[in-house]
Amino acid sequence: MSRAALSRTVIKCDIRASSAGSRYRQIELDKGLKEVLDRAFDAARGTKHPIEDAYVRFDGDSITMVVDANVPRSWLLADFILRELRIALDEYNRSENAEHQLRLRVAVTFGEIVLNPPAISGDAVIRAARLVDAAELRKAMDEKPSVSLGLIVDEKFLTEVIQHRERGLDPTRFKAVAVDVKDFDGKGWIHMAEEAPEKEFNATVVNRFENSEIDARGAVIGVNNGTVNAPK
């Protein structure tokens, strides 16, 4: 790897409440994190964006991922993290008992990064580490125990990536919070990746045939040679 600083995206993932329970639970959660990430990479492999070239450093119950700038940041957030990583996480949790449910805090930012494995250095690396430890993110996940992925980005990422609404990103779904962790004092933006609610079908459809009304909720109505066929 080059020692030159290059513009890169930094993703920091940390397992929520990984230290609770036995040492064997911690081992299983660490293995689960790697499995989830492998599934997400497999799902995104073969796209036009070379996500498989990302460098990932595992640090027990957390990972630091560095992605080159040739991978669009809007795609990285919307498609890789909020879609593939979330799907992989949900699939993993469906096969695990309550004790081994995996919940992730994820921070995303970008900047000039020097990558010389296993060393990763740059202000963005520090920002990501501080953001993922934000008290407000921990609180948000405590308040919504059914949510398996809590996301936080810095203001730079919100302004330069999310605000442009590419790949369906919606800035109104990100909540501003104060982040004060060690040497970082700034603003973060939190998004809780909740399950999208199923749309309830309760519309009333009333059609008129020969001056009479038919309640056609849930019915299939076809037209055959100009004649309307409706359920009797």
Domains of the chain, CATH where assigned: 6-192 (3.30.70.1230), 199-232 (no CATH)
pLDDT in tens, 10-54: 999 999 876 666 777 788 889 999 999 999 999 998 888 989 889
Residue spans of alpha helices (H) in 45-112? 73-75, 86-94
**Nearest-angstrom CA–CA distance, 189 and 184:** 15
Give the pLDDT band of residue 171 (cuts 50, 70, 90). Answer: very high
Q: What is the pTM of this model?
A: 0.81
Give the pLDDT band of residue 4 (cuts 50, 70, 90). Answer: confident
More confident residue, 48 or 75: 75
Residue with tokens 């230290």: 19
Residues 98-111 have a mean pLDDT of 94
> Half-sphere exposure of residue 49, counting CA atoms within 13 Å on the CB side?
19
Give the pLDDT band of residue 100 (cuts 50, 70, 90). Answer: confident
- Dihedral, CA atoms, 152, 192, 44, 32, nearest 10 degrees? 90
At residue 218, the pLDDT reads: 47
Q: Which strand (E) or helix (H) includes residue 126?
A: helix 123-132
Angle, vertex CA 194, rays to CA 192 and CA 196, nearest 5: 140
Using alpha carbons, select from 219, 146, 160 the residue that is nearest to residue 189: 160
